[in-house]
Amino acid sequence: MRIVFAGTPEFAVAALGAAARHHEVVAVYTQPDRPAGRGRGLMPSPVKRDAIVRGLPVLQPDTLRTPEAQQQLRALQPDLMVVVAYGLILPQAVLEIPTHGCWNVHASLLPRWRGAAPIQRAIEAGDEETGVCLMQMEAGLDTGPVLLSQRTGIAATDTGGQLHDRLAQMGAQVLADGLGLLRAGLKPVAQAQPDTGATYAHKLDKAEARLDWSQAAPVLARRVRAFNPWPVAEALLAGERVRIHGAVAIEDDRGRVPGTVIAASRDGIDIACGQGALRLRVVQREGGKAITAADYLNARRDLPVEG
């Protein structure tokens, strides 16, 4: 089959490998290079870097809405377009170009967590399960019928990064399964998404990473996990702003003012919350690297503790 692949971030790289393994990928679409790093030089996307290594042609249009962009896609004569976290809206005219339309790999169990940040929102909400869906794309945002899916539990210790990596591999597998069926003339049966249960996973914003100690400790602990490795939770710790890479919620009924340091040991630094307490285990001072609570206490021996 002649496949056009469209994807941009690291999450899509494994899926590109699955598409290229047994099929002819005639072009890889990805977002234009963006400024990144301290020098703000233009950096190619992870998908572009992988495509170049594979010797695949790369296209980086700013939009797919123009007649010129659509004609360029049409000239590739694709049997199928595979889309994984591409970052551009595909208009109806594009969806109709490939013989078998466009497939999307999405990191949730649709219709829950449609949208940009399904992995982090699932952890933040306390979901016990998530997964990946292979979806036949339509004009609506992640509303198309589901072709195949896989489920996985969310462990109490899973971070956004860990779950991202697991779901990326699962996404590649459901794509490979779907492509295998299509190649054998057995196109997966499309199942319409349920009318109920839809939620929207809003794009992550760095402002969300600022923790509010008046909230419940379990809520904050989930946010710390969800926002690791980006944007990384941050908060005031006895007057110093730190980033929090690892924390757990613990029970505490001492009724201290939220934000108060109520205990500090090699096991962690306990901060009173609106409900319970948050035990900080891995933190990062401004301009420094992530360190254990024990190392932080060694560096800040004046930390006030009101146990």
| Cβ-based neighbours of 239, under 8 Å, separated by 6 or more | none
109 marked among binding-site residues: yes
- Tokens 């001492």 label which residue? 254
Report the sign of the C-alpha dihedral through residues 229, 235, 237, 240, in that order. positive
Q: Which pLDDT score is estimated for 254? A: 86
Tell me which CATH code domain 206-299 carries.
Answer: 3.10.25.10
Q: Which amino acid is at 148?
A: L
Mean pLDDT over residues 125-153, rounded?
97
Q: Which pLDDT score is estimated for 166? A: 98
Is the pLDDT at 252 greater than 90, yes or no? yes
Kindly report the backbone phi and psi dihedral angles of residue 87, in degrees, each rounded to the nearest multiple of 5, phi listed first: 100, 0
Q: Which pLDDT score is estimated for 132? A: 98
Mean pLDDT over residues 162-189, rounded?
96
At 77-101, the pLDDT tens digits run 999 999 999 999 899 999 999 999 9
**Does a cis peptide bond (omega within 30 degrees of 0) precede residue 229?**
yes
Q: Which pLDDT score is estimated for 62? A: 95
How many helices (H) and strands (E) the chain has is answered by 8, 17
Burial track 230-261 (b if 16+ CB lie within 10 A, e otherwise): ebbbbbebbeeebbbbbbbbbebeeebebbbb
Q: Which amino acid is at 144?
A: G
Q: Which pLDDT score is estimated for 67? A: 97
Q: What is the C-alpha separation between 74 and 64, in angstroms, rounded? A: 11
User: Strand, helix or coil at 144?
Assistant: coil
Q: Which pLDDT score is estimated for 37? A: 77
Q: What is the C-alpha separation between 279 and 249, in angstroms, rounded? A: 6
Mean pLDDT over residues 255-284, rounded?
96
129 membership: H or E segment, kind and range: strand 129-136
110 marked among binding-site residues: yes
Q: Which pLDDT score is estimated for 8? A: 98
Structure tokens at 36: 């990144």
> Any idea what DSSP says for residue 114?
E
Q: Are 63 and 73 in contact (CB under 8 A)?
A: no
Q: How confident is the model at residue 128 (pLDDT cuts 50, 70, 90)?
A: very high
Q: What is the C-alpha separation between 303 and 307, in angstroms, rounded? A: 12
Nearest alpha-carbon partner for 31 in 55, 12, 52, 7: 7
Instruction: Find the distance separating the first CA and the last CA of the chain, reported in whole Å.
Output: 66
At 21-75, the pLDDT tens digits run 988 999 999 999 998 877 788 999 999 999 999 999 999 999 999 999 999 999 9
Q: How confident is the model at residue 102 (pLDDT cuts 50, 70, 90)?
A: very high
Mean of pLDDT over the chain: 96
Q: Which pLDDT score is estimated for 19? A: 97
Q: Which pLDDT score is estimated for 78? A: 98
Q: Which pLDDT score is estimated for 41? A: 87
Mean pLDDT over residues 177-187, rounded?
94
Domain ranges for the chain: 2-201, 206-299
Mean pLDDT over residues 6-32, rounded?
96
Mean pLDDT over residues 253-276, rounded?
95
Q: Which pLDDT score is estimated for 54? A: 97
Structure tokens at 209: 């990473």
Half-sphere exposure of 289 (CA within 13 A, CB side): 0
111 marked among binding-site residues: yes
Class of residue 229 by CB neighbours under 10 A (exposed 0-12, middle 13-18, buried 19+): exposed
Q: Which amino acid is at 198?
A: A
Q: How confident is the model at residue 272 (pLDDT cuts 50, 70, 90)?
A: very high
Cut 0.75: pTM above it: yes
- Tokens 């551009």 label which residue? 88
Q: How confident is the model at residue 297 (pLDDT cuts 50, 70, 90)?
A: very high
At 196-250, the pLDDT tens digits run 999 999 999 999 999 999 999 999 999 999 999 999 999 999 999 999 999 999 9
CATH architecture of 2-201: 3-Layer(aba) Sandwich (3.40)
Strands 129-136 and 240-250: unpaired
16 marked among binding-site residues: no
Q: Which pLDDT score is estimated for 233? A: 98
Residues of the chain above pLDDT 70, percent: 100
